[in-house]
Structure 1
Amino acid sequence: MRILTMLLGCVFSFAVWAQGPSVERYTQGVHYELLDKPVKTITPGKIEVTEAFAYSCGHCYNFEPLILSWEKKLADDVELVKLPVIWRNSMQPLARIMYTGKALNKYKEVNARVFTALHKERKRLGTEDEIAKIFEDVGVSKEDFKKTYNSFSVNTQVKQAQARTHSMKITGTPQMIVDGRYSVAATREMGHEGMLEVVDFLVEKIRAEKASGKS
């Protein structure tokens, strides 16, 4: 009887293995959601992973080292896009920081400095002058900062971020959107590490679809 049980176990294991990618480790509606309406991606030719975040969010502050480490290991066909969420107009100034930093080629330095200022130094960064000081700390003059911070390009990107926040149905931060189709949020059981594991699974799923011509 014991031998028969072992044989049946081996047969079952082989059957699962043989099914390959069709056996999903994660389930829609449990570990991730499918957006009602797909959102157009902005990185042609790549599997786009969007991280919806807010500088003011404590969970995002704790998640930042993890997402930076995860990004370094991405395959060439995957691209991480950072989306500063804007649910209301009062969130625009902090969101504007990211696009200003990118325009001035100071994104990494500014990104780290903003998280530190808000969560370790307990600064508010509620005014343009307070934000300007962040950029001065990384070598950007106040004049260059203000010119870029209020530029047409940054204004446009902020409006697009606000639109994408709503179209991607962002309800909390951090939240991940994969290929403009799948939404993944951390749960108490899954945590941030688990959320990224689900994202990795979805990336593999999309890659397989592309290879088979289904996407």
Structure 2
Amino acid sequence: MKPAKSVKPVSKALLRSTVLLAVAAGIAASPVQAGAATHRQPAEGVQYVKLDHPQPVREAARTEAVEFFWYDCGHSQQLEQPLQAWAEKHRADVALRRVPAIWPGSPEEGVQRGHARLYYTLERLGLVERLQTSAFRSVHNDKADLTTEATATEWAVRHGVDAQQFGQAYRSDAVRQSVDDAAAQFVRYGVNELPTVVVQGEYRTSPTKAGGVDAMPEVLDYLVQQEQLRKR
């Protein structure tokens, strides 16, 4: 897949429908989900793909896993707790980095930028682990609009965050730059489905590839194991 050309502006409804149908088809066709071969080794081109243009990693000591997510994506929300458990299991050998998805040129880009700003504000304040699940629930389940400083601050205060500290982080140059960089990373990594996880800047998996959201941690285990074998 070509990273830039495969990203086309789509409506939120169409994006959700497309991803939902693709995931359903992937699950139906997956031997792991169907029970034909419950322990089949993940294969390149099937459960994961190699990026056309591998990306540099930010940490040399551990294997890097980069998750692209959107607070208003049901499958991203579904992956959150399994991914947290997976990252905890691999805390010693894997560095998990999250990137809020910004689909450049799409009708939802403004909403996604607002959600990205919320995420990077939480990250700057060291609150991602505590509030990530709540953010998913508020946006996706409760349909809360957290795309402006006012609404995001009100939400944060309800969750015990100091309003002044939140506002300073929200308006900071560092958060603004992180949002812009997230949009660029979305294209560079060739993301065409949410959620997507890229291991060591080179191998990408997603629900339709892995055979469903629940199958993604197993594929990630394999990719991390292969990367560790390559380092030996």
With the length of structure 2 as denominator, give the TM-score of the two structures: 0.75
AA of the residue aligned to 2:120: Y
The answer (yes or no) to whether the contact 1:132–1:145 under 8 Å persists in 2 is: yes
CA offsets 1:119-149 (integer angstroms, 9 cap, x no match): 2322222322111112112333333222210
Q: What is aligned with 1:49?
A: 65
1:75, distance to aligned residue in structure 2 (A): 4.9
Q: What is aligned with 1:108?
A: 129
Q: How does 1:176-215 map to 2 (within 5 A)?
A: 176-187=197-208, 190-211=211-232
The alignment's C-alpha RMSD in Å is 1.8
Give the 3-state SS of the residue equivalent to 2:208 in structure 1: coil
Q: How far apart in 1 are the matches of 2:200 and 2:209?
A: 24
Asked whether 1:127 is paired with 2:143, we answer no
Greater relative CO (CA pairs within 8 A, separation 6+): 2
CA offsets 1:34-62 (integer angstroms, 9 cap, x no match): 10111111222210011111111011112
1:188, distance to aligned residue in structure 2 (A): 8.0
Q: What is aligned with 1:29?
A: 45
CA offsets 1:181-213 (integer angstroms, 9 cap, x no match): 0011112871122222111111111100100xx
Q: What is aligned with 1:84?
A: 100
Distance 1:144 1:60, change over 3 A: same
CA offsets 1:60-106 (integer angstroms, 9 cap, x no match): 11221211121211151211111111113411110111111121222
Q: What is aligned with 1:14?
A: none
Q: 2:174 aligns with which of 130, 144, 153?
A: 153
With the length of structure 1 as denominator, give the TM-score of the two structures: 0.81
Q: How far apart in 1 are the matches of 2:210 and 2:173?
A: 43
Q: How does 1:157-172 map to 2 (within 5 A)?
A: 157-172=178-193
AA of the residue aligned to 1:161: A
Distance 1:104 1:75, change over 3 A: closer
The answer (yes or no) to whether the contact 2:79–2:214 under 8 Å persists in 1 is: no
The answer (yes or no) to whether the contact 2:50–2:204 under 8 Å persists in 1 is: yes
Q: Name structure 2 gaps, 5 residues minimum.
A: 1-39
Q: What is aligned with 2:88?
A: 72
The answer (yes or no) to whether the contact 1:132–1:142 under 8 Å persists in 2 is: yes
Q: Which region of structure 1 is more displaced relative to structure 2, 149-158 or 103-112?
A: 103-112
Asked whether 1:40 is paired with 2:56, we answer yes
Q: Name structure 1 gaps, 5 residues minimum.
A: 1-23
Q: What is aligned with 1:138?
A: 159
AA of the residue aligned to 2:216: M
